């Protein structure tokens, strides 16, 4: 593989996204080299160079890791990015490589629904787990003596936001590392490393790849020693991305800015339409000027995401609403070009009301989507009579 081409850190997001991670052009070669399927590489004699065994490294990962690195930390060459089999593989690689028995860690109490399982595992290994809600910077109160602060902002599914710069400052002042789950924002919405965090961790399964057909995760970090431990963890656990998934992800990043701008603009329009409806309560979208998250979000985010959360009066009403939608699939996950929505309580994990809906806004025409949502709200009310 060839070297990283000239500096793209000063271009716009769209320009950077379409070229992110591409090697210098080579005559008769494709712009984005195809996936390299290899369990092992020719390795005569001494072990030199990066590619020897497919669990340790792969040229298709290398290009994708460069692409994500260029988006998470444009213009910085002190940042290392590692891709993983899934967002959970990436999250676990940071937590389990950095924490030892006797350490304390601060996790969000309102974060991704698998975190309670991670918590139980950490506790089984003798790590003290403290939790705090995302909004209001409540993490500050439980930070004392912690080794790692884990932030999820905006939080999934409640869409609360915390002041990342402020929390990083407090954590670093007492020697704690900070990791930010950047899944919901994507690197075009928020760049945690520039806000001071040590790790930006994300699921690439969501809006980063955006087509609902790939599971992927990554860790970008600027602390070389910590990242060496994360890399070692990937090798030990073997939670590696397949070359095909890595290649699909890289191909999808070319359209990231297009998708994000379209989906996020429509998400704001959907939120504005929902707020007119008397049956909708607890409407949350960080891009709404009067959302409780907006002030802090505006200080640290450049785009506000494609997820809108709201609550309908009852479980039955929410179920009828989801069933009445024609352009929005009842499915979990978020960030894809096809809109999805679900009643979050069906999983049992999140502390949300029975009628709580998390909607992921896709790339459909905004008028079509809003009309579908409003019609489904009307129909779900009528059938209650």
Ligand X SMILES: *Cc1c(COP(=O)(O)O)cnc(C)c1O
Distance CA 32, CA 22 (A): 6
Minimum Å gap between C-beta 350 and ligand X is 11
Contact between 181 and ligand X by CB under 6 A: the answer reads yes
User: Omega before 154 cis (within 30°)?
Assistant: yes
Q: Residue 99: phi, psi to the nearest 5?
A: -100, 140
Instruction: Strands of 79-138 (E only): list them.
Output: 80-84, 104-108, 128-132
Q: Residues 63, 176, 215, 230: which binds ligand X (CB under 6 A)?
A: 215
Contact between 183 and ligand X by CB under 6 A: the answer reads yes
Which is it for the CA torsion 58, 63, 66, 72, positive or negative? negative
Minimum Å gap between C-beta 111 and ligand X is 7
Contact between 87 and ligand X by CB under 6 A: the answer reads yes
Q: Read out DSSP for 50-68?
A: S-SBTTT--HHHHHHHHHH
- Nearest by Cα to 90 from 252, 177, 205: 205
Q: Residues 62, 153, 200, 203: which binds ligand X (CB under 6 A)?
A: 203
Name the closest residue to ligand X (Cβ): 87
Nearer to ligand X, 94 or 370 (CB): 94
Contact between 246 and ligand X by CB under 6 A: the answer reads no
Minimum Å gap between C-beta 93 and ligand X is 12
Distance CA 94, CA 91 (A): 6
Quick one: tokens of 146? 């912690």
Minimum Å gap between C-beta 28 and ligand X is 36
Nearer to ligand X, 86 or 339 (CB): 86
Distance CA 188, CA 185 (A): 7
User: Omega before 132 cis (within 30°)?
Assistant: no
Quick one: tokens of 260? 């994000």
Q: Residues 20, 32, 79, 88: which binds ligand X (CB under 6 A)?
A: 88
Distance CA 80, CA 52 (A): 20
Contact between 86 and ligand X by CB under 6 A: the answer reads yes
Minimum Å gap between C-beta 150 and ligand X is 11
Question: Mask 346-385, x = binds ligand X (CB under 6 A)?
Answer: ----------------------------------------
Nearer to ligand X, 152 or 342 (CB): 152
Q: Residues 98, 156, 207, 300: which binds ligand X (CB under 6 A)?
A: 156
Q: Residue 323: phi, psi to the nearest 5?
A: -70, -30
3-state secondary structure of 42: coil
Question: Which among 34-42, 50-58, 80-88, 239-247 is the span making contact with ligand X, rule CB under 6 A?
Answer: 80-88
Contact between 205 and ligand X by CB under 6 A: the answer reads yes
Contact between 57 and ligand X by CB under 6 A: the answer reads no
Quick one: tokens of 355? 């009628």
Q: Read out DSSP for 298-319?
A: HHH-SS--SEEEEE-SSHHHHH
Nearer to ligand X, 86 or 380 (CB): 86
Minimum Å gap between C-beta 316 and ligand X is 27
Residues lying near ligand X in the complex (CB under 6 A)? 86-88, 91, 112, 152, 156, 181, 183-184, 203, 205-206, 215, 217
């Amino acid at each position: 593989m060839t070297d990283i081409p000239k500096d793209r850190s000063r271009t716009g997001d769209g320009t950077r996204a379409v070229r992110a991670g591409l090697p210098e052009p080579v005559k008769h070669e494709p712009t984005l080299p195809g996936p390299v399927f290899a369990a092992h590489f020719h390795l005569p004699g001494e072990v030199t160079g990066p590619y020897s065994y497919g669990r340790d490294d792969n040229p298709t990962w290398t290009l994708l890791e460069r692409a994500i690195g260029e988006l998470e930390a444009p213009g910085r060459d002190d940042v290392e990015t590692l891709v993983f089999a899934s967002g959970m593989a990436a999250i676990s690689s940071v937590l389990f490589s950095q924490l030892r028995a006797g350490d304390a860690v601060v996790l969000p109490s309102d974060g991704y629904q698998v975190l309670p399982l991670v918590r139980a595992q950490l506790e089984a290994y003798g790590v003290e787990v403290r939790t705090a809600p995302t909004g209001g910077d409540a993490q500050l109160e439980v930070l004392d003596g912690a080794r790692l602060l884990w932030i999820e902002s905006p939080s999934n599914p409640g869409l609360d936001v915390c002041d990342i710069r402020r929390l990083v400052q407090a954590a670093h002042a007492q020697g704690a590392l900070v990791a930010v789950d950047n899944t919901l924002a994507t690197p075009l919405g928020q760049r945690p490393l520039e806000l001071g965090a040590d790790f930006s961790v994300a699921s690439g399964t969501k809006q980063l790849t955006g087509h609902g057909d790939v599971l992927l995760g990554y860790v970008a970090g600027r602390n070389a020693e910590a990242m060496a431990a994360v890399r070692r963890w990937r090798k030990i656990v073997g939670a590696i991305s397949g070359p095909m998934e890595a290649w699909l992800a890289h191909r999808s990043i070319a359209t990231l800015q297009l998708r994000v701008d379209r989906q996020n603009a429509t998400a704001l329009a959907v939120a504005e339409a929902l707020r007119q409806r008397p049956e909708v309560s607890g409407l949350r979208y960080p891009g709404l000027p009067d959302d409780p998250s907006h002030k802090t979000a505006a200080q640290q985010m450049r785009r506000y995401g494609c997820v809108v959360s709201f609550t309908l009066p009852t479980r039955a009403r929410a179920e009828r609403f989801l069933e009445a939608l024609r352009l929005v699939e009842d499915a979990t996950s978020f960030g894809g070009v096809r809109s999805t929505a679900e009643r979050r309580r069906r999983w049992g994990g999140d502390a949300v009301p029975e009628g709580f809906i998390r909607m992921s806004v896709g790339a459909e025409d905004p008028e079509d989507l809003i009309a579908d949502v409003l019609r489904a709200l009307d129909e779900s009310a009528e059938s209650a009579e």
